[in-house]
Amino acid sequence: MEIKSVGVIGAGQMGNGIAHVMAVAGYDVMLNDINQDALNAALALIDKNMERQVSRNLLDADAKAEAFARIKTTMDLPDLGPQDLIIEAATEREDVKNKIFETLLPHLAPQTILTTNTSSISITRLASRTDRPERFMGFHFMNPVPVMKLVELIRGIATDEETYQACLKIVNNLDKTAASASDFPAFIVNRILVPMINEACYTLYEGVGNVASIDSAMKLGANHPMGPLELADFIGLDTCLAIMHVLHDGLADTKYRPCPLLTKYVEAGWLGRKTQRGFYDYRGETPVPTR
């Protein structure tokens, strides 16, 4: 099937980036959120990010105007029903995602493909709660979406080949690279990345190093562009903790036990950049380590 229209659920960090790249690639986009302020903020950010692409000669002004005009917004979830493809990019909580799909089901067109941007939750389990497990899969973008070239495509146990090929074609149209992953906890990227972040938290928790030394060690010693604790703040400490819980629960291996210090930061509401405090304090002109 040819996909022409895309619904995106969630206008946050991931959702607005997905809407951005889909519109630039020529798809008609319907962006949904439960909050009108979030939709307004998403459109403003998309406009700003597209303008940055124009300034860097990555997009011409006419193409930018055409892409931005392709994005429509709605607070009514059923409005997304007629879209050819729906990408859910809401909060990383399984109960929230199940409720979204339950609300959508009566309004879906027969050909609609359902996908989720989840970074760790079982695709098979989410798909089983819908009326179309064969037309359901994981479509996991990396953050920031307009910049990062990778998309993980995750098939559930029932996902059919036609659905996979349709999503693969979209990834190619976005000028990104697909990595096919099996439906096991956290898939590929986060199965490797987040336990490394968790280990950095343990290194801090046990006093082996402080925030600055841990991040400097990995940037200069392993040539990482960003230290693991700085990266955790960028991702969101609540998201990192949620992924560690999925790994620990799903694989029943003690090596995936979330670090108590990571849990403590989340309990304090210090979730990283989005709350202005995490392993660094972002309230001043330059980030300052909090430990």
32, 49, 117, 190: which one is catalytic? Answer: 190
Q: Which position among 32, 49, 119, 120 bears the catalytic label?
A: 119
**Out of 152, 198, 230, 248, which one is annotated catalytic?**
152
Which among 119, 117, 155 is positioned nearest to 9, based on CA atoms?
117
Among this protein's residues, is 152 annotated catalytic? Answer: yes
C-alpha radius of gyration, the chain, whole number: 19
**3-class secondary structure for 190-256?**
HHHHHHHHHHHHHHHHCCCCCHHHHHHHHHHHCCCCCCHHHHHHHHCHHHHHHHHHHHHHHHCCHHH
190 a catalytic residue: yes
**Contact by Cβ (8 Å): 283, 273:** no
What are the φ/ψ torsions at residue 127 (nearest 5 degrees)? -60, -35
Q: How many angstroms separate the CA atoms of 157 and 270, rounded?
A: 37
User: 186: which DSSP letter?
Assistant: T
Identified catalytic residue from 88, 120, 140, 230: 140
CA distances from 247 to 153, 239, 254 (A): 19, 12, 10
92 noted as active-site residue: no
Residue with tokens 């973008």: 141
Catalytic residue status for 32: no
Secondary element (H or E) of residue 21: helix 13-24
Q: So which residues are the catalytic ones?
A: 119, 140, 152, 190
